[in-house]
């Protein structure tokens, strides 16, 4: 099981942006497909406090439920990409 989990919806352009960054950085991650209906997205709401996607959880770095694709991409680049110390 990967330490990064991404909650996503197929066809979501914001999810595709995050998936692209994960793949570019060659990170191992698991995906969880959320239901189309926001009312049925109880699992992602539990981890992030909201029902929108994408959301990531990065257990290795204590990130529980980060949302907003731009924030996630910036975090991934800083933590695992060229911005990593």
Q: Using one digit for the tens of pLDDT, what is the confidence trace for 2-33?
A: 799 999 999 999 999 999 999 999 999 999 99
Q: Beta strand pairing status for 4-8 and 29-33?
A: parallel
User: pLDDT tens, 29-82?
Assistant: 999 999 999 999 999 999 999 999 999 999 999 999 999 999 999 999 999 998
Q: Locate 6 and state its tokens.
A: 């991404």
Cβ distance 28 to 59 under 8 Å? no
CB-based burial of residue 58 (10 Å sphere; 0-12 exposed, 13-18 middle, 19+ buried)?
buried
Tokens 């991409």 sit on residue: 73
- Find where tokens 């997205």 sit: 41
């Amino acid at each position: 099981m990967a330490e990064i989990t991404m909650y996503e919806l197929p066809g979501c352009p914001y999810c595709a942006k995050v998936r692209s960054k994960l793949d570019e950085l060659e990170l191992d991650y698991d995906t969880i497909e959320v239901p189309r209906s926001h009312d049925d997205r109880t699992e992602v709401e539990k981890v992030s406090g909201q029902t929108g996607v994408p959301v990531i959880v990065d257990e290795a770095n204590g990130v529980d439920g980060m949302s907003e694709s731009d924030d996630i991409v910036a975090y991934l680049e800083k933590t695992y990409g060229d911005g990593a110390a």
